[in-house]
Amino acid sequence: MNLRGAWTLFGRETRRFFKVKMQTIVAPALTAMLYLIVFRYAMGNRSVPGLEVSYFTFLVPGLAMMAMMQNAFANTSSSLIAGKIMNVHAHLLMAPLSAVEVIGAFLLAAVMRALVVASVFLLVLSPFVDLPMPHLGMALLFAICASLIMGGLGVIAGMWAQKFDDMATVTNFIIMPLTFLSGVFYSVQQLPPLWQQVNSFNPFFYLVDGFRFGLIGVGDTHPASAVGFVLTATLITTVACWRLWHIGWRLKD
């Protein structure tokens, strides 16, 4: 194991997103304030049907999870597609690093960025919303799993894409629809029965709902029933990343 090399790659990926503080720190803080203005004061004290919680309290964990997933995906996908566009990804392929070390460094950096963004987001909104955090460990578990899944999907998308338009296609037609249909802005119980069944196959729904349950103690499902599904999805994604990097899928074209 080349732990020093893996740590160096992790440091590079971490410093890369810390250098763009306007995007990774300031932007989530500004977004949080905009959500506060739009939803907290426009929606008033309305509660979520079927759940005894205010709409804004219900909304905040979902928004934080959405920000985590988007940033974890962006961190790995942007790094790989930029390397391919500039034709420097070959240096990474020639480095004395195994597929486990490369994928591990990429995914840990994605988790780091996702947690930083979520922390900033929640810190800005904490004076305006009540987050009792009754199951903080469960919230952290779902946050890390979501970051690993989205970071892994970002690796796969970055390996597949040949240009930025390909990446935009994945983001706009796969990632964003699944995110917005995951119950971030509404309770799934408000949907017709047919759409509730359809949404039960959306893995993003379980990530959002489990994270929300950990922070405010309510959700559309009990997250204990989804832990196995989420852990399995995390394992499949990471193994797929390792295997595809190991064979150099679309990296040697």
Report whether 1 contacts 101 (CB < 8 A): yes
- The tens digit of pLDDT for each residue in 145-161 reads 999 999 999 999 999 99
Q: Is the model's pLDDT at 198 over the cut of 90?
A: no
For residue 37, what pLDDT is reported?
82
Residue 244: what pLDDT? 95
Backbone φ, ψ for residue 133 (5° rounding) = 50, 60
Mean pLDDT, all residues of the chain: 90
pTM: 0.93
Q: What local confidence, expressed as pLDDT, does residue 223 receive?
A: 81
Report whether pLDDT(194) > 80: yes
| Arithmetic mean of pLDDT, 195-214 | 89
Per DSSP, the residues of the chain read --HHHHHHHHHHHHHHHHS-HIIIIIHHHHHHHHHIIIIIHHSTT-B-TTSSSBHHHHHHHHHHHHHHHHHHHHHHHHHHHHHHHTT-HHHHHHSS--HHHHHHHHHHHHHHHHHHHHHHHHHHHGGGS----TTHHHHHHHHHHHHHHHHHHHHHHHHH-SSHHHHHHHIIIIIHHHHHTSSSSS-GGGS-HHHHHHHTT-HHHHHHHHHHHHHHS--SS-THHHHHHHHHHHHHHHHHHHHHHHHTTTT--
Highest mean pLDDT among 12-21, 49-58, 99-108: 99-108
Asked whether the predicted pLDDT for residue 187 surpasses 80, the reply is yes
pLDDT band at 22 (very low <50, low <70, confident <90, very high): confident
Quickly tell me which residue has 């250098």 as its tokens. 19
